[in-house]
Structure 1
Amino acid sequence: MPASERAVEMALTAAQAAADKKADNIVVLDVSEHLAITDVFVLASAPNERQVQAIVDAVEEALVQLPEKAKPLRREGERAGRWVLLDFNDIVVHVQHGEEREFYALDKLWKDCPQIEFVDRALIS
């Protein structure tokens, strides 16, 4: 069963919030067929710890603005700022320092999962 509409809406909102804070290499993956614990992964990179934190803050702010407010159930890695995981139940957002993104290669690990198309609205105009 593919990701729920709510999960896709949340993921695309999170992806746009990350893009607005200049995140790199944003990927949205439907992992619902492979994981029972969540529907969608949002992956984003940043070149430094400060930007990782700015992206995390923007994602949280954007998701709490949705009609059905979403707050993270769990947050990990915030202190180090190199890989922050935000668990919103329906989606999990991974914001990684570029080096961690390359080393852990979550994109390759989950390559069998369908990608959900995300287009940064700043590129549409």
Structure 2
Amino acid sequence: MFDKMEIFRMAQGLAVHAGTRQAVIARNVANADTPGFRAQDIADFTETYRKTGPELPLRTTREGHLPASETGLRAAAIREDDAPGEPNGNTVSLEEEMLKAAETKSKHDLALAVYRSSLGVLRTSLGRAR
């Protein structure tokens, strides 16, 4: 019964994706004045979830780890922004990065809400009150 709890894997994957994207956004903001720096972003969660392929396979290092075929997650590749930049070659727009950060925070909050709700349903089904 507990080996196929896809909702928990999906919520965890969304939270990890949001954390990774927030780190990329923070790096963009930190380099907003660096000449020649190209803004970066990662693919949307829907593009990275459920993709499988030989590019970045997950591997198990201990017996207790989940095998790659069960997780459905693939590491998100960082891609550079192709937008024209400032005269110094920098392509970071602080306004866009602020919008991306707010969107990413809401996705992280969504992942936590799904996890909490699913955990509540699981507890209720086991007959345990919160």
TM-score if structure 2 supplies the norm length?
0.28
Specify which structure has the higher proportion of helix: 2
Higher relative contact order, chain-length normalized (CA < 8 Å, sep 6+) = 2
**Computing the radius of gyration over CA atoms, which structure comes out larger, 1 or 2?**
2
Specify which structure has the higher proportion of strand: 1
